[in-house]
Amino acid sequence: MTARVGILISGRGSNMQALVRAGGDAYRVVLVASDKPDAAGLAWAAEQGIATLAHSGKRGEREAAFDAALRGAGVEVIALAGYMRLLSDDFVARWAGRIVNIHPSLLPLYKGLDTHARAIAAGDAEAGCSVHVVTAELDAGDVLGQARVPILPGDTPDSLAERVLGVEHSLYPKTLAEFVKR
Which positions touch ligand GAR (CB under 6 A)? 9, 11-15, 81-82, 102-104, 129, 165, 168
β pairing state of 3-9 and 51-54: unpaired
Active site annotation includes 116: no
Report, in Å, the least distance between residue 130 CB and ligand GAR: 9
Report, in Å, the least distance between residue 158 CB and ligand GAR: 12
| Cβ-proximal residue to ligand GAR, closest one | 82
Q: How far, rounded to the nearest angstrom, does the alpha carbon of residue 76 sit from its chain's CA centroid?
A: 15
Transcribe 20-78 into DSSP letters.
Answer: HHH-SSSEEEEEEEES-TT-HHHHHHHHTT-EEEE--S-HHHHHHHHHHHHHHTT--EE
Q: Which of 55, 103, 132, 169 is catalytic?
A: 103
- Between 15 and 180, CB nearer to ligand GAR: 15
- Between 104 and 141, CB nearer to ligand GAR: 104
DSSP bridge partners of 160: none
Q: Compute the Cα dihedral for 120, 123, 129, 134 and give only its sign.
A: negative
Report, in Å, the least distance between residue 27 CB and ligand GAR: 17
- Between 14 and 135, CB nearer to ligand GAR: 14
Residues in CB range of 72: below 8 A, 6 or more apart? none
What residues are annotated to the active site?
A: 103
